[in-house]
A and B are shown apart, each in its own frame.
Chain A
């Protein structure tokens, strides 16, 4: 079954008196346990597509069906609820709460999901174990390295067991070595049966995915299955 089914969506922004067509006519389907990279130069509309896929924004035209529910007409609070339960975000700049430790950051989506404190703590600990940060749970973001911060963000994305993980340039702020470690972690998560959508403009990062969708001028330029996927080798994750 498709998790994501997008049909002829368009997004038009009004900038002053001018209409900007960020997305013109995009249709695509994403299945469970796919590893998709969305590629495109800046201004191509890939960020807009990612925002719509992540339910952070709604399309101006077209239909977005997420797990059998039409989300293209939902209001802010309904979208918030979908994001909370079904989507795990990983951002380029990590977007952690600076004043909270790793555990509390990972707990956050569960707080908004209404999970009780003890359940929350247990799930958050498990998620942090999963990304190899067992011994860092009470560190704040500024006490962690870039790679460790991104791991906290990945744990936060995983903790609600979402339908898709949406990663926006997850290695953009990391050095090559640390970036590789993070990509290895994504690979591991993918192999455990999760669905990952990766937004990037770097060819070598996109090659980690099993399918690459190229966007240009608000349209899908190419949608191809990667024949020889780059599988990073698993190394000491906790050193990231």
Chain B
């Protein structure tokens, strides 16, 4: 160990000198690694960005909220078995509400995509329209920028009032206070009683929550006029650790309410945010794997370049190796010397690659909410060092095994 510490500066010096003596060759060899690292880091930055975007767009789903629905949100295989299930009804919701004990809030909800919203000559497409109760404020984790949320009376009476997202306000009420003004949804006038806090863009605007409209359930059933819209029951448990117990309790209650025979499977599903995330991770996981494999190929090509040039370097310096061995260098000294040289070449490539991919990550940032993650920086440096050690190993091994007698005679 002591002799290693004394030799190490020498080993570094040799490696740097060798690279300085062959500047152009070193740069060209490193190019393979540079390209590989740029490809891998930008790829992973993009993947992390996609995930961030997705998570921020589903963050409105509370992690302690269970969604009782007719269908599981993600199911592989046969949709027919789900299609024939009976809808969840308002009566079932009321029964569930009366038997369930451990929960913080429960709200029935119906929703639809893309209803037209008008005011005077202006019109806008709402991304999502919800019909629900006052409890949705808790289950949906709703925060208001102005006005108030639906109350008990609005819901019971089926008043024509609504709470709208920021995008709708910006579009229909430029420089005006929207509160207590009227908008038309499906040509039915509705009074705006509240404005939602801005959520920020989710997945590239597709499901922007700033374009949503929330109204009482009864109002939804008359205005949106689709009585067959399926009902969903949102239940906020309030404590993530009790989620599993609550799930059990809901399942048994719902089986009783929906009169499911003992030998039959559930004819409803309990969904949660995790399922969305898992599903997403599965999908993106395949994409990410493919991307990483393809980009890693370029790193592999770079590694072959390094190995090639290290073989050349060993051959060129056969005599130097002979001299060092003759005056006492041990096998590991020579091995380590060439491994270090290959590793330094690759780490330099890695650093240059990172310097190039940093501005690229800023470009990606224009489309996806991400920055180059710090761990990717460290991982890519580690990978490049590893590539150096692996691709340098065979040449270094060859060098360390050279016979001093023959290598001293090498011309």
Contact = CB atoms under 8 A, between A and B. Distances in A.
A109 B327 contact: yes
Contacts of B398: none
A116 B320 contact: no
A113 interface: yes
A50 B128 CA distance: 91
Nearest to A76: B331
Interface stretch (B2-10, B95-103, B243-251): B2-10
Interface in A13-33: none
Contact of B327 (A76, A108, A116): A108
Contact of A83 (B2, B7, B328): B328
Nearest to B319: A95
Contacts of A89: 326-327
A57 B405 contact: yes
Nearest to B401: A76
A75 to B, nearest CB: 9
Interface string A99-116: 100000000110111111
A111 B405 contact: no
B6 A84 contact: no
B6 A111 contact: yes
Interface residues on B, range: 20 to 34
A77 B404 CA distance: 12
Contacts, number: 64
Contacts of A97: 320, 323
Contacts of B21: 99
Contact of A114 (B3, B320, B326, B404): B3
Interface residues on A, range: 20 to 34
A85 B327 CA distance: 9
Interface in B282-335: 319-320, 322-333
Nearest to A166: B326
A99 B328 contact: no
Interface in A32-82: 51, 54, 56-57, 76-77, 80-81
B10 to A, nearest CB: 5
A186 interface: no
A114 B6 contact: yes
B17 interface: yes
11 contacts: A51-B405, A56-B408, A77-B330, A77-B332, A83-B327, A95-B322, A95-B323, A96-B323, A113-B3, A114-B7, A117-B9
Given A95-B319, A95-B323, A156-B327, 20 more contacts: A54-B326, A56-B404, A56-B405, A76-B330, A80-B328, A80-B329, A80-B330, A83-B326, A84-B327, A95-B322, A108-B324, A108-B327, A111-B10, A112-B324, A112-B327, A112-B329, A114-B6, A116-B6, A117-B6, A117-B9
Nearest 6 CB-CB pairs, A to B?
A84-B328, A114-B3, A112-B328, A109-B327, A77-B330, A80-B330
